[in-house]
Structure 1
Amino acid sequence: MQNFQIDNLDKMILNALLDDARIPYAELGKRFKVSPATIHVRIEKMRSAGIIVGTRLAIEPKRLGYDVSCYVGITLNNAGDYPEVVKRLEAFDEVVEAYYTTGKFSIFIKVICHSIDELQWVLIGKIQSIEKIRDTETFMSLQNPIQRTIKI
C-alpha cells in the first residue's frame, strides 16, 4: 500500500469533513477560496486513493438504552484460530469493534449492551461459548471522555 501525498487544501478539506461530513462543496469552496468543482475533484481524488472511506452515521448508544460498554481481551487456544474466531465474533451485534493485538491478548473487542444482565449473557452464552477461545478478561468502561479520529 502506497502513502498518498496531500497538500494543505486537502488537509483543510479533510478536517472540515471530519467536523461535518454533510457540509456542501459550495460552502467548502467559499471557506477555502476555491471553486466547488475543485473541492469535488479533491474529494474524489482522496476517495480513489483510499484516504476517504465511506460515509458513516454516528449514533449515541446511550440514547437508545445501551448503558453498558466494555472491552474484552480474548486469549485463543492457537494463533491459527484467529480467522474463525473473528468470523464468529462478527456475527454478534453486541461486538462493535475488534482488534488483533500483541501482548497478553490475541484479540481485543468492544462490546455494547443494554444491561449487565445482557452483558453476562453475551459473555457466557456467546463469546465464551466459542470453543477456540481459551480465556477472556473483561474491562468495564465507565466513561469515554475522548472519542475522535486523527486530525490532519
Structure 2
Amino acid sequence: LDELDGQILQILQQNGRASHTEIARQLGVGHTRVRDHIHRMEAVGVITGYCATIDPLALGYSIHAIIHVSVDQQQDFDEFAAQLLAMDEVVEIFNVTGEFDALVRIWVRDFRHLREFLYGKISELPAHQNTVSSMVLANQVKPLTLSGR
C-alpha cells in the first residue's frame, strides 16, 4: 500500500459512501486514479466490503452484553460459532484464550430478552458448558489505522 491508498482508506472509513470524485477532490488527484486504487485494494482483499452502520437503540435493542462462554472441547468450535451466528441477537464472536473459549457480543431488547437468550438459546447448544454475562456500560470504537504498520 502506498500513501494514497492509506489516505483513500481513511476517507472510506469515515464515509463508506464517498464517491471516487469526492475522494479525489479531497486528495487533489484525479477520480480515475482513486477508482483504480480502490479497485486494486478490493481485488487484493484490503477492502473486503462496505456496510451500513445501524443504531441498535433505534431498533429497540437497549442492552448490549458480552457473554463469556466455555465450550465442550469435544465439540467443533466452528459449528458452535455458526449456531450462535444464526441467532439474531449475536453480532460478533471471538474464539479466545484464557478461562473461557468464546466471547459473544449480543444486543437484546430488555432483561427478559437477555434471560431468554441465556437460558433458552445458548444453554441449549450441545457445546455449551458455562456462561458469564457482562453488561456493556459504554463502548468506544476506533477504526484500524495504517500508522501501526
User: Which residue is 1:137 aligned to?
Assistant: 132
| C-alpha separation in 2, matches of 1:108 and 1:69 | 13
Matched, 1:24 2:24: no
Q: Deviations over 1:47-97 (max 9, x none)?
A: 011110111000011122110010011101215431221121111110110
User: Which residue is 2:85 aligned to?
Assistant: 90
| C-alpha separation in 2, matches of 1:79 and 1:42 | 46
Matched residues, number: 146
User: Which residue is 1:99 aligned to?
Assistant: 94
Q: Deviations over 1:2-23 (max 9, x none)?
A: xxxx111110000011111111
Matched, 1:149 2:143: yes
Q: Where do residues 21-60 of structure 1 align in structure 2 (5 Å cutoff)? A: 21-60=16-55
Structure 2 regions of 5+ residues with no counterpart?
A: none
User: Which residue is 2:106 aligned to?
Assistant: 111
User: Which residue is 1:3 aligned to?
Assistant: none
Structure 1 regions of 5+ residues with no counterpart?
A: 1-5
TM-score, normalised by the number of residues in structure 1: 0.91
Structure 1 runs of 4+ aligned residues shifted over 2 Å read: none
Q: Which amino acid aligns with 1:147?
A: V
**Identity, % of aligned positions:** 27
